Chains A and B, each alone.
Chain A
């Protein structure tokens, strides 16, 4: 078995010395093909955990490993390169660039190291199509609904065929039908791709299989109910 793609080792996080710990010793291993759901009350630190996992933020204490290597000593640009090649991130607030069309937003990660090829564009269009946005490729984010924007963000996360996809409440703004098809798409698109989804939606969580619950800064297996 190859080394896990991502691993958290006893990760603790707080935002300043006067504030309480948000994460108090989290261990998590993400291997190819894993399907995880993370649940927990609002403010429990789910987004923070995902950000640390996605190398968007550093832990206060503990290690974040990529292919078994600690990332602590890496420069911000080296982390960016890992994000580029390994991780697709879907933000809670979707964060699209307002001046780019849906298609351009999807292609944004490609621009990180090259100009998009014809295949990149075809893939972006096909992703958008699969997400039900085939007729919205030329629209600016301001011209899309909240749910549509969220799906553009998902397409953007998938464009570079990441090894791990990290999605922070990607279905928050979607109706149950669209939620289901989005999750099944994430699950089906690439059996090797690990999928980690933060969600409040029990149906979504169930669809993924393994469910972790974040409570009092600790990660624990949740009841499968």
Chain B
């Protein structure tokens, strides 16, 4: 047959071929639509990743108080691209009506405007810029006023007891500027994870002034250039002030730190020549008999190191000895040999200072001259350094101005912070050394005594140190970015599985419809064979003709796919918005890709069609000419029954032993086995019924078991997708009341910048903090101390991504039944307190944090530097299902406080107020704790924010399931059409003798209802099996109503498809068939 004739044939048979073409178009459209949605999803993820930090390739994270802007400028000059200096603090942004949110505040200067070529980007001082999403969440619009609360940066970190708390939070009234159009630069956070915190931009100078850090920045964002390049430049350009160190001139040059205690790395320099460690301590009083003096510095010097000039003036000092300066000796009226008492502070394991008393024997009195008068010994403590009089002192330590005498004032104005007493470093070590350290200064040797010896000493120190160990960290942004696009659950496999099920369904139906065409035209094949055409010749003729039809269908599949994807997306965003919470589902119409997908589907369908036509062509011609059909397959039900039993047993076994809940493999493994088993059972049933029966339900089904199976399978697969996703991804995960859910049964999550020292659910504590009586029942608040990860003091070795640590009371969580383990520890929550090895601390994290954030599993360890500066191993002993505490590892509270002394006092809270009271409670908390920088969010909202990638996937799964149902319903219609085709004569006769077409239609539909029921039933059973682990979890709450709705819809779908097809097919049955002699 020539192409011409093939075209003629297609044209002649257009009415017969149109449904086949439509079926191919639908199948190709479904696959192309799936591709469009998949591309959209990938695109959205990629866009999200790209938006993350925009063009930034690497960054420097500095200490809280920052580094010099000059350092930033020098770096910028040597780097390609541009370098944006920034000052970043965490803050809470509260609109007038309350409801503050935690934000990252970024102070940026004109560099960023230049870099982005957007002169309007930077807000004028006093305004904040945010993106529309944050504005919506805060319910504000440009021009509205907000309060921005930011904790004041402190060189000490609030880990250290010396930091001051009274004005720790700076409150600023700000105006909302024009909203940012795109995610970048609204997405500047350097934190890892799929859900970056909200970000606001402010003017750099304005922020620096408000926070009291003029000319300091703590972030550098570099666009262009690698992290390695940036690191090299940092090492080249850094200087001591950039890490809070300075060299001051005293009797010899002295290295001071604005953090009071020197880092271990710095102290270690004292082990070498040229530097000697000393610890200068602020003591509360020194007393002798009735006399005492208040507030003095005592310097502990290393008497074994000949460096510092003061040693020449000091007597030999044993651990119990002290040397007073002449002024102090006079005040206390002591002589050599007298005993003095000293009251001094130590850092306990808690935040509060612990005061201790000790005594020393006076070993010598140092005259007020030479090296003994040297204010350079005093550490640059905030609130002391630079104050003109003692009355202006305001350090983090309690200072009572009433105890300051005129003599003290005179000493301060004459000698400044010159130590009033001297002890040996060993004496200090045994008294006030803490895990945080001991040395406060290094006395450097002034060997050369050159003119610029100070600079020389500084240079020597600088060269000996590694800035990246002192708080100047270089972060590779591309690694961070990669972590941002990782959804907390790996749905990629699931997505592929879904698309595959859909593809198989689509193509089975397309092939079935096309094959129907040629079965209808069997007599034509018979004629060709009868007049001597070889089977190959016949096949190629059919192949050519069907290629035209299927090709046309494939072409139509592209617009069909676009329409399907668009329609579904719209549906998702409107009809199902409740279920998907408006998760952004976009569609990418990439015509070449859709064409490819469409044509591949068509090609597969075409190959399947040809394979289905081969046996037809091979049949003896007379059988074809006579319109004689094959008899029912002779095979008995035994084989099918065997397959059914095996597959179903396998499915049950796999469901019961599925190692991890919701894993894609287990889900599809169980589902596929159950489907296969069920289909085999149906097949066995149909075969067991033997000879076809014409009436009643299943009458049409037993007639052609293969065809019925195809469509039952399609319907079952689609139902499986819809129900399986519904059950497996139920939103019960987010139910704020359900305790096993990710909320832990706590509706509210509160976080503060400063620790709360009282318990909110203790009546006395609540009263002390001014909370209304009975707001929180005892035991309803889980207050957790927190060690922030992922920030400037990044503690996890070898990685820029450190999780936050939270201290929890394991018994509390165990008793409450909060959260759900996907990989439970051996003894549940108690595993946190069962430390077998003192150097290993057990921790528990959620799936998102452990598996996807850290790429670890239960049993793995990570290494941290604890608050004592020693390295500890954190062993993951259990993995929770996703929780509202994503990004954190949970540790026993007592262990956390012991290991991280500065963490004392809770900063993260889970609050149970009963679901009805959440609004009231969050308003009360907002007001009561704004000075702690508290932000309160509903846990459900928080979880939702974590899950938006997953939500997008689930939304698409629902869409694919719906598509599957659509296809399967269409397939149902096709089966009916073929039944009608085969029984034309019967039906024509029925009409001829007066059956109304309505009656016939109803009978036909009824015959196929059994298939619909089978398909749905099989799909539901398979889905229940596949989702078994989730369903059997404690207090599982599958969304039954939603699913019932979906299934009712599916039944209606299928019935309508059947009815329409019955009506259309019956209309085509003509009396002519009666006139035809079919042998």
A interface with B by C-beta (< 8 Å): 47, 51, 54, 56-58, 76-77, 80-85, 87, 89, 91-93, 95-100, 104, 108-109, 111-113, 115, 140, 156, 160
A156 — which chain B residues lie within 8 A by C-beta?
Answer: 531
State how many angstroms separate the Cβ of B619 from the closest Cβ of chain A. 8
B689 — which chain A residues lie within 8 A by C-beta?
Answer: none
Instruction: Given contact pairs A84-B532, A91-B625, enumerate 11 new A-B contacts (beta carbons under 8 Å).
Output: A47-B1079, A54-B530, A57-B620, A76-B535, A89-B531, A99-B11, A100-B8, A108-B531, A109-B532, A112-B533, A113-B537
Contacting A at CB under 8 A, from B5-19, are 5, 8-9, 11-13
Asked if residues B537 and A56 are in contact (CB atoms below 8 Å), the reply is no
Are A80 and B529 also in contact (CB < 8 A) when A56-B620, A92-B1077, A95-B625 are? yes
Asked if residues A56 and B8 are in contact (CB atoms below 8 Å), the reply is no
Asked if residues B1077 and A84 are in contact (CB atoms below 8 Å), the reply is no
Bound together, the chains give a CA A140 to CA B621 distance in angstroms of 23
9 nearest CB pairs, A to B: A84-B532, A99-B12, A109-B531, A56-B622, A57-B622, A112-B532, A83-B532, A112-B533, A77-B534
State how many angstroms separate the Cβ of A89 from the closest Cβ of chain B. 6
Asked if residues A76 and B620 are in contact (CB atoms below 8 Å), the reply is yes
Among the 9-residue stretches B126-134, B519-527, B736-744, B996-1004, the one with 4 or more Cβ atoms under 8 Å from chain A is B519-527
Contacting A at CB under 8 A, from B73-129, are none
Most buried by A among B12, B13, B526: B12
Q: Tell me, yes or no, whether B180 is within 8 Å of chain A by CB.
A: no
Bound together, the chains give a CA A99 to CA B17 distance in angstroms of 13
Asked if residues B523 and A95 are in contact (CB atoms below 8 Å), the reply is yes
A51 — which chain B residues lie within 8 A by C-beta?
Answer: 622
Asked if residues B534 and A111 are in contact (CB atoms below 8 Å), the reply is no
Asked if residues A85 and B12 are in contact (CB atoms below 8 Å), the reply is no
State how many angstroms separate the Cβ of B520 from the closest Cβ of chain A. 12
Most buried by A among B618, B620, B1077: B620
A56 — which chain B residues lie within 8 A by C-beta?
Answer: 530, 620-622, 625
B13 — which chain A residues lie within 8 A by C-beta?
Answer: 99
Asked if residues B534 and A83 are in contact (CB atoms below 8 Å), the reply is no
A80 — which chain B residues lie within 8 A by C-beta?
Answer: 529, 532-535
Can you list 27 A-B pairs with a CB-CB distance of less than 8 A?
Answer: A56-B530, A56-B620, A56-B622, A56-B625, A57-B621, A76-B620, A77-B534, A80-B529, A80-B534, A81-B534, A83-B530, A83-B531, A83-B532, A84-B533, A87-B532, A89-B530, A89-B531, A93-B1077, A95-B523, A95-B625, A98-B12, A98-B524, A99-B9, A104-B5, A108-B531, A109-B531, A111-B537
Q: Given A58, A77, A96, which contacts B536 in the complex, CB threshold below 8 Å?
A: A77
Interface 1/0 per residue, B816-841 and A, CB below 8 Å: 00000000000000000000000000
Bound together, the chains give a CA A68 to CA B405 distance in angstroms of 140
Q: Tell me, yes or no, whether B1040 is within 8 Å of chain A by CB.
A: no
Interface 1/0 per residue, B492-533 and A, CB below 8 Å: 000000000000000000000000000000011011111111
A104 — which chain B residues lie within 8 A by C-beta?
Answer: 5
B528 — which chain A residues lie within 8 A by C-beta?
Answer: 97, 108, 112
Asked if residues A93 and B1076 are in contact (CB atoms below 8 Å), the reply is yes
A81 — which chain B residues lie within 8 A by C-beta?
Answer: 532, 534
Q: Tell me, yes or no, whether B1 is within 8 Å of chain A by CB.
A: yes
Bound together, the chains give a CA A85 to CA B8 distance in angstroms of 27
Q: Tell me, yes or no, whether B2 is within 8 Å of chain A by CB.
A: yes
Asked if residues B524 and A97 are in contact (CB atoms below 8 Å), the reply is yes
A98 — which chain B residues lie within 8 A by C-beta?
Answer: 12, 524
Main secondary structure on A side of the interface with B: loop
Are A77 and B527 also in contact (CB < 8 A) when A99-B12, A111-B1 are? no
State how many angstroms separate the Cβ of B194 from the closest Cβ of chain A. 59
State how many angstroms separate the Cβ of A225 from the closest Cβ of chain B. 28
B533 — which chain A residues lie within 8 A by C-beta?
Answer: 80, 84, 111-112
Asked if residues A84 and B5 are in contact (CB atoms below 8 Å), the reply is no
Bound together, the chains give a CA A185 to CA B618 distance in angstroms of 35
Bound together, the chains give a CA A109 to CA B621 distance in angstroms of 14
Q: Given A77, A83, A100, which contacts B5 in the complex, CB threshold below 8 Å?
A: A100
Asked if residues B527 and A112 are in contact (CB atoms below 8 Å), the reply is no
Bound together, the chains give a CA A99 to CA B527 distance in angstroms of 13
Bound together, the chains give a CA A113 to CA B534 distance in angstroms of 8
Asked if residues A76 and B532 are in contact (CB atoms below 8 Å), the reply is no
Contacting A at CB under 8 A, from B658-682, are none
Bound together, the chains give a CA A4 to CA B899 distance in angstroms of 108
Bound together, the chains give a CA A99 to CA B545 distance in angstroms of 12
Asked if residues B1079 and A84 are in contact (CB atoms below 8 Å), the reply is no
Main secondary structure on B side of the interface with A: helix
State how many angstroms separate the Cβ of B152 from the closest Cβ of chain A. 88
State how many angstroms separate the Cβ of A114 from the closest Cβ of chain B. 11
Closest partner residue, chain B, to A89 (CB atom): B530
State how many angstroms separate the Cβ of A133 from the closest Cβ of chain B. 18
Bound together, the chains give a CA A69 to CA B929 distance in angstroms of 106
Contacting A at CB under 8 A, from B1027-1079, are 1076-1077, 1079
B interface with A by C-beta (< 8 Å): 1-2, 5, 8-9, 11-13, 523-524, 526-537, 618, 620-623, 625, 1076-1077, 1079
Most buried by B among A76, A81, A87: A76
Asked if residues B8 and A99 are in contact (CB atoms below 8 Å), the reply is yes
State how many angstroms separate the Cβ of B987 from the closest Cβ of chain A. 21
Bound together, the chains give a CA A54 to CA B621 distance in angstroms of 10
Are A95 and B526 also in contact (CB < 8 A) when A76-B620, A77-B536, A112-B534 are? yes
B526 — which chain A residues lie within 8 A by C-beta?
Answer: 95
Bound together, the chains give a CA A113 to CA B540 distance in angstroms of 13
State how many angstroms separate the Cβ of A165 from the closest Cβ of chain B. 12
Q: Given A57, A58, A93, A115, which contacts B2 in the complex, CB threshold below 8 Å?
A: A115
A82 — which chain B residues lie within 8 A by C-beta?
Answer: 532
Bound together, the chains give a CA A113 to CA B622 distance in angstroms of 21
Bound together, the chains give a CA A99 to CA B529 distance in angstroms of 17
State how many angstroms separate the Cβ of A199 from the closest Cβ of chain B. 16
Bound together, the chains give a CA A47 to CA B13 distance in angstroms of 29
Most buried by B among A81, A87, A93: A93
Bound together, the chains give a CA A95 to CA B621 distance in angstroms of 12
Asked if residues A84 and B9 are in contact (CB atoms below 8 Å), the reply is no
Are A97 and B527 also in contact (CB < 8 A) when A76-B535, A83-B532, A112-B533 are? yes
A76 — which chain B residues lie within 8 A by C-beta?
Answer: 529, 535, 618, 620
State how many angstroms separate the Cβ of A200 from the closest Cβ of chain B. 14
Closest partner residue, chain B, to A86 (CB atom): B532
Asked if residues A85 and B532 are in contact (CB atoms below 8 Å), the reply is yes
Are A58 and B625 also in contact (CB < 8 A) when A84-B531, A93-B1077 are? no
A111 — which chain B residues lie within 8 A by C-beta?
Answer: 1, 533, 537
Bound together, the chains give a CA A112 to CA B529 distance in angstroms of 9
B523 — which chain A residues lie within 8 A by C-beta?
Answer: 95
Asked if residues B620 and A58 are in contact (CB atoms below 8 Å), the reply is yes
Bound together, the chains give a CA A87 to CA B623 distance in angstroms of 19
State how many angstroms separate the Cβ of A189 from the closest Cβ of chain B. 18
State how many angstroms separate the Cβ of A64 from the closest Cβ of chain B. 13
Bound together, the chains give a CA A82 to CA B8 distance in angstroms of 29
Closest partner residue, chain A, to B1079 (CB atom): A47
Closest partner residue, chain A, to B8 (CB atom): A99
State how many angstroms separate the Cβ of A203 from the closest Cβ of chain B. 23
State how many angstroms separate the Cβ of B405 from the closest Cβ of chain A. 119
B535 — which chain A residues lie within 8 A by C-beta?
Answer: 76-77, 80
State how many angstroms separate the Cβ of B526 from the closest Cβ of chain A. 7
Bound together, the chains give a CA A92 to CA B529 distance in angstroms of 16
State how many angstroms separate the Cβ of A177 from the closest Cβ of chain B. 24
A84 — which chain B residues lie within 8 A by C-beta?
Answer: 531-533
A83 — which chain B residues lie within 8 A by C-beta?
Answer: 530-532
B11 — which chain A residues lie within 8 A by C-beta?
Answer: 99
Asked if residues B527 and A95 are in contact (CB atoms below 8 Å), the reply is yes
State how many angstroms separate the Cβ of A56 from the closest Cβ of chain B. 4
A54 — which chain B residues lie within 8 A by C-beta?
Answer: 530
Bound together, the chains give a CA A92 to CA B524 distance in angstroms of 15
State how many angstroms separate the Cβ of A46 from the closest Cβ of chain B. 12
Closest partner residue, chain B, to A97 (CB atom): B524
State how many angstroms separate the Cβ of B1075 from the closest Cβ of chain A. 10
Most buried by A among B2, B8, B532: B532
